[in-house]
Amino acid sequence: MSGEQREPVKTICPYCGVGCGIQVQQGEEPGDVQFRPWGDAPVNEGRICIKGGAATEVVDHEDRLTDPLIREGGEFREASWEECYEYVVDELERIREEYGPDAMGFFGSSKTMNEENYLLQKIARRYGTNNVDNCTRMCHASTVWALRTSLGAGAMTNSMRDLREEADVFWIQGANPGEQHPIANSQYFRQAVLEGATVVQVDPHANKTTRSFEIDDTDRHQHLQLNPGTDIPVLNAVIKTILEKHEDEAGWIDEAFVEERTEGFEHLKETLEDFDKEAAAEECGLSLEEIERAAETYASADNAAIFTGMGMSQHRCGVDNVQNEINLALITGNVGRPGTGVNPLRGQNNVQGTCDVGAMPNVLPGYQPVDDDEARESVEEVWGFDVPSEPGLTNVEISHEFGNSVRGLYVVGENPVMSEPDANRVAERIGELEFLVVQDIFMTETAEYADVILPATTWAERGGTVTNTDRRVQRMRGVETVHENTKHDLEILSAVGSRLFDDDGFAFDDPEEAFEELREVCPIYHGMTYDALGEEGLHWPCYEPGDEGDPYLYAETFDTDSGLAHIEGVTHTPPAETPDDEYPLILTTARLEEHYNTGTMSRRSPTLNRQTPENFVDVHPADAERYGIEDGDGVTLTSRRGEIDVVAQVTDATKEGVVWTTPHFAAASANRLTNDVLDDRAKIPEYKAAAAEIEVALET
């Protein structure tokens, strides 16, 4: 094609879960790829944030892995694909023979596509284990658990479009769309606010969301700047206020909705019978008056929508946190209509889809439980082999077992050495594995420990589908492969699966062929085809060909056994670590607009790195004075698990006694400090609260 101008391809931004459409222009040479706007893209209509605009910068980056590598004598050497496949298959067979199938773990990725994650989990199950998981475990596993159990589906109840058009109140708790979902925020939520919607933000940190909605207009909006880890008491105080007010004046509770469409209301009332709102407000670091005002704002709206983020989910009580949001929505009848619901803002561009297609230890594609005989048998019939019926280990549980019950790990596009909590221990434990294979585009902190590295193509070079935060399944389309000895993830997994099982049920010639099989085992995707997805995509559930998908859920019934939504009172569980004499501060963590999780891509993007080249910590002015810290000082932040050197940013964006930092930068990642205590049910770690100490770093 040299000398010819090619048509740009329409694809999806590889970063956050908003799912913005962009175009990629292929130049004369394979590595020459340029970003182009996609003016009528269905989600973003051509608008783009800084990450999306810079996404093509990493496609031909000099750090790209360009050849397969095998570790030999402690060093990596180049190897052929055939040699690597043989090595991987031999080691997987050896581990199964010596220790059994549950001695392997498989990590899928929210950065890879539905078809690729579908094939990875199929390989794990054919191997004989349900030890397959993905990074949703780190972000919204608790949200998915609570929503699935109480409403039916582990996903946003509504769509960005109906929320923009119909919501009167945006209750945003532990989420920061201004920073982490910039186009959803500017194009949808901010538009609604400009047209009159009111915002109640519940967050320990004042952030870009606070600023973008001008929440300091306190006559209209509110920011409840609570203490980290006190979301249950604040919501219980809100719910108790609504219960009390309804006794005086009917209308605060939607009695008909509660009666006809829910179960468990009595349990909620009993739980809160002796609840002390004054004491709760004090524990949250708020006044009762402001909590009661927020309760009235929410309960009196025609349509009130809850947005929930990792500030809620990443706690050892993450399931209870989200359940209490569900309780609030249900007692006021704010579910099942446009402009309402409980809406998790999903982090990565395919975190929703990676779960939808079954890359989780407890469910098969379409959230069918592995321990449900009927569901499992229906999948086995299509696949032609038996699936283990016991749920497997989650990714943090697998990581806790490295070198013990888990001897080998297959990682596709993930970076657990940086993304998991207590990262210093993860790095120690991963060295205990007998065999580690990593499939990625760069030499990540995890790949450094691998025995085999399989170089994959990037998001821009291949096709497939991804599912965004409001359940819209969209197609990605690729340009020419930049480095000729790299391969698409689907092709690599097809080769490994076919050789390992001597079974052509693992050989897919292209993503569409894999999607066609996925449809057969995933009821919520069954009605979709690549043709039907077209350029607009479709919101699941889409059960039969011709269905147009559902932008909002539960208009008539809930997807629970009884068809009713589940209300359940919850009580406060404080963070596992609270401040003490040795570690007197609360450390909390969050992400930045310019960076993306472990920074594998964003730290290699010149545009993004220029914006924020190093980590920092927000310190309240009163704490700064106490510790003798000036704005811009180098400080050492410590917890019981490690220390990082960062720059202090003295600001009243954080509360007194609370320090706030990010996980994006390898040597100074917040995850060297975070606590790996887990929520009992969802197994999500408590990234959002740990005890910490700070001191001015010594000059060297």
Q: At CA 553, angle to CA 550 and CA 558, rounded to 5?
A: 135
Residue nearest to ligand SF4 (CB): 52
Specify the residue, 353 or 392, whose C-beta has the smaller distance to ligand SF4. 353
* Nearer CB in complex with ligand SF4: 601/668: 601
Structural tokens at position 176: 């920061």
We find the least distance from the C-beta atom of residue 55 to ligand SF4, in angstroms, to be: 7
Name residue, tokens 């945006």. 170
* Residue 550: CA count within 13 A, CB half-sphere: 20
Q: Measured from the CB of residue 481, what is the shortest distance to ligand SF4 in angstroms? A: 23
CB of 23 to ligand SF4, least distance (A): 12
Task: Provide, rounded to whole angstroms, the least separation between the CB of residue 36 and ligand SF4.
Answer: 13
CB of 18 to ligand SF4, least distance (A): 4
489, 459 in Cβ contact below 8 A?
no
- Contact set with ligand SF4 (CB under 6 A): 13, 15-16, 18-20, 44, 48-49, 51-52, 181-183
Q: Are residues 12 and 474 in contact, defined by beta-carbon separation less than 8 angstroms?
A: yes
Distance of closest approach, residue 42 Cβ to ligand SF4, in angstroms = 12
CA dist list (Å): 104 to 97, 369, 433, 670:
11, 21, 10, 28
Largest CA distance in the chain: 77
Residue of 304, 308, 232 whose CA lies nearest to 271: 232
Nearer to ligand SF4, 323 or 350 (CB): 350
Q: Which amino acid, residue 506?
A: F
Pairing of strands 472-476, 9-12: unpaired
> Cβ 16 to ligand SF4, closest distance in Å?
3
Q: How far is the CB of 15 from ligand SF4 (least distance, A)?
A: 4
Please identify, using beta-carbon distances, which residue of 337 and 471 lies nearer to ligand SF4.
Answer: 471
Cβ(518)–Cβ(118) below 8 Å: yes
Q: How many C-alpha atoms does 366 have within 13 Å on its Cβ side?
A: 22
Residue number, 16 or 500, with CB nearest to ligand SF4? 16
How far apart are CB 186 and ligand SF4 at their closest, in Å?
Answer: 9
Contacts of 560 (CB under 8 A, 6+ apart): 149, 150, 151, 152, 566
Beta-bridge partner residues of 77:
70
Separate counts of helices (H) and strands (E) for the chain: 27, 28
Which of 173, 348 has the CB closer to ligand SF4? Answer: 348
Q: What is the DSSP letter of 213?
A: T
Residue 22 or residue 427: which is nearer to ligand SF4 going by CB?
22
The DSSP 8-state label assigned to residue 524 in this structure reads G
* CB nearer to ligand SF4: pick between 182 and 309: 182
Omega within 30 of 0 (cis) for the link into 369: no
- Whichever of 110 and 150 has its CB closer to ligand SF4, that residue is 110
